[in-house]
Structure 1
Amino acid sequence: KLVILAGNCKKDIIEDVKYYAKLSNIPVYIHDVNSLELGAICGKPFPVSVMVILDPGNSDILDMVKS
């Protein structure tokens, strides 16, 4: 449903993710936080550069990204 990238993700990774997401009609959102902060947001003790939202549940994250 959605791919989220950390703001400090390497450009070649960003380009690859955008390319494959475009093939699958999946939106890509580049967040302004770095990978350590994105990991902390996810509750993980390690950096997270790329995350995927497969099931947004009751959240409105997909609507927030569209606007």
Structure 2
Amino acid sequence: MAKNDPIAEIKKYLEEKKLVLGQEEVVKALRNKKLAKVYLASNCPDITKKQMERYGQLANVPIEAVEKSNEELGILCKKPFFVSVLGVSA
């Protein structure tokens, strides 16, 4: 396992119930500076990536792209829908 494996981190945060799912919820949390990190799916739309990068800069929160599609992130998070954006509560 890699030192900073984002998938392992996401699984850990899922067990700890620290994940915020979805673009709108992540934006709200970023505006309120309640996130420590944001993960983006590999096939996240460009406009969403730009928006997350902008809010991430303003809130001083790192944005990390993972090598999983939004469908795979949805499955990883045990949700019946696609997940393009994940936030980790601070």
Shorter-chain TM band: 0.7 to 0.9
2:8 corresponds to = none
Aligned partners of 1:52 and 1:36: how far apart in 2? 17
Show structure 1 runs of 5+ residues with no match: 56-67
For the aligned residues, what is the CA RMSD?
Answer: 0.8
More helix by share: 2
Match of 2:89, as an amino acid? L
1:39 corresponds to = 74
Instruction: Give the Å deviation of 1:45.
Output: 1.2
SS in 1 for 2:57: helix
Aligned partners of 1:20 and 1:14: how far apart in 2? 10
1:16 corresponds to = 51
Percent identity among equivalent residues?
35
Instruction: Give every structure 1 segment of 4 or more consecutive aligned residues whose post-TM-superposition deviation is greater than 3 Å.
Output: none
Equivalenced residue count is 55
Q: TM-score, normalised by structure 2?
A: 0.59
Match of 1:51, as an amino acid? L
